[in-house]
């Protein structure tokens, strides 16, 4: 492995060139006239990746870890302790719909009447002496928006006769076996179109929002209010109830903590503390605990995290219950919350999550592939078309932090990684590979195709010798990425006609040449093309890369000459780090590099230290 890259066979040189050119840029343009019909992404993980990995919890439970050990691993520096969880939480179960129906049934026997009250009753507030209506077993109450008003109608269980109730904007529904209505346990069924959900605990409010414009006739919102302890948590449908008990208990602890952190925050937009969807937590009501075979296992797991009446295990940091974000799986490491949503939180920092990459534990998302159409891709960025894109920054965990798209007209647009994932409905931001072929096969042609719309206003370009000097071509690519200049290929004789034509089209007036002196065109050759020039050249990769580093700000990536094969193959990740690249013979930097590091008070990072 001591033989230098430029002395290797032509076959390896070709591979290195392809790796640098084809793999460096995450999507490559075929030409201004050939807009890719679609983009293919390959990645791993599912969800935002902040906090506990549910697949990671599953994997750790299979290894014998306890629920507290699992939770403490993912929420750094926290404590798992018993807290009061007897408070009520208001959960949105139907958001801004046009019609919705409710009926009642008994678990065994005949159901007691469901009582309907006008107004928004608190969960423990005594009811008026007489309800506005009763829904008997087999009957149904339907709320529907018609001509800007809420129409409430009651279907009789026996005669099926429909009665319209007085016009009210808020209704409260109570049924037997709950806090406000003691008695035999009944179940309420909520019907929205063909979807039916069941609820055992609490009470339900139905609220009408009047029209805000002629185009919107008004909407209906339904919420259920129930205790977190022994009620809300039994309806959390986040993971399979067949999982090991420790994983289920870890999920219950995280779900309880999340709910407690939101229980005192009223959100007017949903008339709730929490949505019942994965926007907050997936709350499915009675259908979770009534699952065949494993439903009781989930109930037992919740109960195991309730050491005494009115108290449950929760995650605390410095004595306060915290918001325990969690996601299905990751790309091998959890995210730093500050890099996803912008605000640092001390207990939501990256930790390794190898279980997510295990295809046995995570068969659907340890690796995935998705195709995105040109139309959808362009729409996400607000562009007329997308010729190519670049992942311009990655998070510590390796997810996409920022991505820029380039149109055929030279217009660019940028999205955060999380926004990109959301708009294009990708499983995660851990994108490891993408495919979009270029039409050219020559090194010069490929380089021109790749750079065609890159930094369209740049007046300078970087020139490197991909074929004979790939290690320093990598240095040049990192340099170009930092100074926002396109990178083109040269030989040791001259600039090709293909490259010269592109330089002329872009009105490039100056060039930066990076490479060993023997592999670059002479000064006089460049001068004859009427280009101003700046040269970083020398006799070795180490000498040249140190000169380049000296001209750039920042903390460098230090790469080993003996590992050039691997470095070339991982060019996209190296360049996405947005740092100067310096070559070294070993892990003891040269005197020149040490001098530069000391001068700017940095230490440099080695390849193995990259996330």
Please report the pLDDT score of residue 87 as a whole number: 96
Distance CA 334, CA 398 (A): 9
Please report the pLDDT score of residue 341 as a whole number: 94
pLDDT above 70 coverage of the chain, percent = 92
Please report the pLDDT score of residue 31 as a whole number: 34
State whether 206 and 289 are in the same domain.
no
Burial class (CB in 10 A: 0-12, 13-18, 19+), 130: exposed
What confidence category does residue 495 fall into, taking pLDDT thresholds of 50, 70 and 90? very high
Handedness of CA 506, 507, 510, 515 (dihedral sign): positive
Q: Could you tell me which residues come within 8 angstroms of residue 424 by beta carbon, excluding any fewer than 6 positions away?
A: 372, 376, 377, 380
Q: Could you tell me which residues come within 8 angstroms of residue 9 by beta carbon, excluding any fewer than 6 positions away?
A: none
State whether 346 and 467 are in the same domain.
no
Burial class (CB in 10 A: 0-12, 13-18, 19+), 126: exposed
Lookup: tokens for 233: 């948590």
> Please, are residues 253 and 261 in contact by the beta-carbon 8 Å criterion?
no
Lookup: tokens for 145: 């928006």
Q: Between β-strands 532-538 and 510-516, what pairing exists: parallel, antiparallel or unpaired?
A: parallel
> Please, are residues 512 and 536 in contact by the beta-carbon 8 Å criterion?
yes
> Please, are residues 315 and 77 in contact by the beta-carbon 8 Å criterion?
no
Q: Could you tell me which residues come within 8 angstroms of residue 254 by beta carbon, excluding any fewer than 6 positions away?
A: 51, 52, 71, 315, 324, 326
Mean pLDDT of all residues belonging to the chain: 89
Q: Between β-strands 388-394 and 400-406, what pairing exists: parallel, antiparallel or unpaired?
A: antiparallel
Please report the pLDDT score of residue 35 as a whole number: 84
- Give me the residue label for tokens 């309880």: 256
Burial class (CB in 10 A: 0-12, 13-18, 19+), 89: buried
Please report the pLDDT score of residue 435 as a whole number: 45
Q: What domain range is 39 assigned to?
A: 29-44+367-437
- Give me the residue label for tokens 């660019």: 412
**Cβ neighbour number for residue 527 with a 10 Å cutoff:** 11
State whether 393 and 280 are in the same domain.
no
State whether 315 and 380 are in the same domain.
no
Identify whether 362 is part of a domain. no
Per-residue pLDDT for 357 more than 60?
A: yes
Show which of 322, 357, 392 is a domain's final residue: 357
State whether 40 and 170 are in the same domain.
no
Per residue in 95-137, pLDDT tens? 999 999 999 999 888 899 999 999 999 999 998 889 999 999 9
Please report the pLDDT score of residue 217 as a whole number: 84
Distance CA 156, CA 332 (A): 57
> Please, are residues 295 and 212 in contact by the beta-carbon 8 Å criterion?
no
Identify whether 159 is part of a domain. yes
State whether 565 and 589 are in the same domain.
yes
Measured in whole angstroms, how far is the alpha carbon of residue 18 from the centre of its chain?
30
State whether 400 and 271 are in the same domain.
no
Show which of 296, 323, 357 is a domain's final residue: 357
- CA dist list (Å): 582 to 26, 177, 232, 527: 22, 71, 56, 28
Flag the least confident range among 182-196, 329-343, 445-459.
445-459
Please report the pLDDT score of residue 22 as a whole number: 41
SS3 per-residue string spanning 211-273: CCECCECCEEEEEEEEEHHHHHHHHECCCCCCCCHHHHHHHHHHHHHHHHHHCCCCECCCCEC
Mean of the pLDDT values across residues 343-351?
96
Show which of 418, 437, 456 is a domain's final residue: 437
Per-residue pLDDT for 3 more than 80?
A: no
Please report the pLDDT score of residue 34 as a whole number: 67
Distance CA 133, CA 128 (A): 12
Q: Between β-strands 605-606 and 412-416, what pairing exists: parallel, antiparallel or unpaired?
A: unpaired
What confidence category does residue 20 fall into, taking pLDDT thresholds of 50, 70 and 90? low
- CA dist list (Å): 42 to 37, 357, 433, 452: 17, 13, 5, 24
Per residue in 567-597, pLDDT tens? 777 787 788 788 999 999 876 778 888 889 9
**Run of H or E including 368:** strand 368-373
State whether 446 and 351 are in the same domain.
no
> Please, are residues 21 and 443 in contact by the beta-carbon 8 Å criterion?
yes
Please report the pLDDT score of residue 32 as a whole number: 35
Please report the pLDDT score of residue 437 as a whole number: 43
What confidence category does residue 10 fall into, taking pLDDT thresholds of 50, 70 and 90? very low
Please report the pLDDT score of residue 481 as a whole number: 87
User: The pTM is what?
Assistant: 0.69
Identify whether 50 is part of a domain. no
Beta-bridge partners for 423: none
Q: Between β-strands 195-199 and 186-192, what pairing exists: parallel, antiparallel or unpaired?
A: antiparallel
pLDDT above 90 coverage of the chain, percent = 73
**Run of H or E including 191:** strand 186-192
- When comparing pLDDT for 216 and 76, which is higher? 76
Identify whether 473 is part of a domain. yes
Number of domains within the chain: 4
Rg over CA atoms, the chain: 31
State whether 504 and 417 are in the same domain.
no
What confidence category does residue 17 fall into, taking pLDDT thresholds of 50, 70 and 90? very low
The size of the chain, in residues, is 611
Identify whether 297 is part of a domain. yes
Please report the pLDDT score of residue 606 as a whole number: 84
- Give me the residue label for tokens 């492995």: 1
Per-residue pLDDT for 423 more than 60?
A: yes
Per-residue pLDDT for 18 more than 60?
A: no
Q: Could you tell me which residues come within 8 angstroms of residue 265 by beta carbon, excluding any fewer than 6 positions away?
A: 273
State whether 457 and 540 are in the same domain.
yes
State whether 588 and 477 are in the same domain.
yes
Q: Among candidates 26, 22, 27, which has minimal Cα distance to 447?
A: 22
Identify whether 374 is part of a domain. yes
Per residue in 210-269, pLDDT tens? 888 777 789 999 999 999 999 999 999 999 999 999 999 999 999 999 999 999 999 999
> Please, are residues 407 and 384 in contact by the beta-carbon 8 Å criterion?
yes
Identify whether 81 is part of a domain. yes
* CB hemisphere CA count around 318 (13 angstroms): 3
Distance CA 171, CA 154 (A): 13
- CA dist list (Å): 585 to 3, 91, 269, 514, 554: 12, 61, 61, 19, 21
Please report the pLDDT score of residue 589 as a whole number: 76
| Crossing angle (nearest 10°) for helices 245-262 and 54-62 | 150
Mean of the pLDDT values across residues 157-165?
90
Distance CA 546, CA 573 (A): 21
> Please, are residues 152 and 135 in contact by the beta-carbon 8 Å criterion?
no
Identify whether 422 is part of a domain. yes
State whether 462 and 611 are in the same domain.
yes
What confidence category does residue 443 fall into, taking pLDDT thresholds of 50, 70 and 90? confident
Q: String of b and e for 10-24 (b: at least 16 CB within 10 Å)?
A: eeebebbbebbbbbb
What confidence category does residue 28 fall into, taking pLDDT thresholds of 50, 70 and 90? very low
DSSP classification of residue 490: -
Per-residue pLDDT for 21 more than 60?
A: no
Burial class (CB in 10 A: 0-12, 13-18, 19+), 35: middle
Distance CA 440, CA 443 (A): 8
Distance CA 167, CA 297 (A): 44
- Give me the residue label for tokens 């719309």: 453
């Amino acid at each position: 492995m001591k033989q230098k890259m430029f002395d290797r066979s032509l076959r390896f040189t070709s591979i290195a060139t392809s790796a640098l050119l084809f793999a460096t840029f995450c999507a490559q343009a075929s030409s201004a006239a050939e807009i890719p019909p679609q983009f293919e992404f390959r990645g791993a993980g599912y969800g935002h990746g902040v906090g506990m990995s549910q697949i990671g919890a599953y994997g750790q439970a299979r290894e014998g870890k306890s629920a507290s050990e699992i939770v403490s691993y993912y929420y750094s520096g926290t404590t798992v302790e018993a807290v009061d969880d007897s408070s009520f939480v208001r959960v949105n179960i139907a958001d801004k719909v046009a019609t919705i129906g409710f009926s009642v049934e008994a678990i065994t026997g005949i159901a007691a009447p469901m009582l309907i009250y006008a107004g928004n009753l608190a969960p423990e507030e005594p009811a008026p002496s007489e309800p506005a209506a009763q829904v008997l077993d087999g009957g149904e109450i339907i709320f529907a928006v018609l001509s800007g008003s809420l129409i409430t109608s009651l279907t009789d269980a026996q005669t099926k006769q429909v009665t319209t109730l007085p016009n009210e904007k808020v209704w409260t529904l109570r049924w037997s076996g709950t806090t406000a209505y003691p008695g035999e346990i009944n179940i309420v069924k909520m019907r929205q179109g063909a979807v039916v959900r069941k609820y055992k605990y609490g009470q339900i409010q139905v609220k009408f929002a009047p029209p805000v414009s002629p185009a919107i006739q008004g909407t209906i919102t339904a919420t259920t209010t129930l205790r977190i302890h022994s009620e809300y948590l039994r309806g959390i449908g986040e993971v399979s109830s067949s999982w090991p008990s420790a994983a289920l208990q870890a999920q219950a602890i995280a779900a309880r903590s999340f709910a407690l952190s939101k229980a005192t925050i009223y959100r007017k937009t949903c008339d709730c503390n929490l949505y019942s969807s994965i926007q907050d937590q997936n709350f499915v009501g009675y259908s979770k605990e009534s699952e065949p075979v494993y439903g009781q296992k989930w109930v037992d797991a919740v109960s195991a995290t309730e050491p005494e009446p009115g108290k449950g295990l929760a995650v605390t940091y410095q004595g306060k219950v915290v918001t325990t974000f969690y996601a299905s799986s990751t790309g091998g490491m959890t995210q730093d919350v500050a890099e996803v949503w912008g605000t640092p939180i001390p207990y939501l920092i990256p930790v390794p999550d190898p279980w997510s990459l295990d295809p046995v534990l995570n068969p659907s998302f340890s690796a995935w592939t998705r195709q995105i159409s040109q139309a959808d891709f362009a729409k996400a960025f607000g562009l007329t078309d997308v010729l190519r894109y670049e992942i311009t920054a990655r998070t510590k965990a390796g997810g996409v932090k920022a991505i820029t798209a380039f149109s055929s007209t030279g217009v660019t647009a940028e999205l955060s990684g999380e926004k990109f994932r959301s708009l294009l409905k990708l499983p995660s931001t851990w994108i490891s590979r993408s495919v979009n072929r270029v039409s050219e096969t020559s090194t010069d042609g490929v380089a021109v195709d790749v750079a065609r719309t890159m930094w369209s206003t740049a007046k300078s370009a970087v020139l490197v010798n991909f074929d004979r000097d790939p290690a320093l071509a990598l240095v040049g690519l990192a340099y170009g990425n930092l100074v926002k200049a396109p990178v083109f290929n040269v030989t040791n004789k001259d600039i090709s006609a293909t490259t010269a034509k592109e330089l002329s089209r872009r009105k490039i007036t100056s060039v930066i040449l990076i490479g060993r002196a023997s592999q670059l065109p002479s000064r006089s050759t460049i001068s004859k093309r009427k280009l101003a020039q700046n040269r970083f050249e020398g006799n070795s990769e180490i000498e040249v890369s140190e000169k380049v580093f000296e001209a750039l700000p920042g903390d460098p990536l230090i790469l080993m000459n003996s590992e050039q094969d691997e470095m070339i193959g991982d060019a996209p990740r190296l360049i996405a780090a947005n740092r100067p690249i310096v070559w070294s013979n070993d892990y003891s930097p040269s005197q020149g590099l040490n001098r530069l590091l000391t001068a700017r008070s940095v230490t440099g990072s080695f390849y193995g230290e990259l996330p």
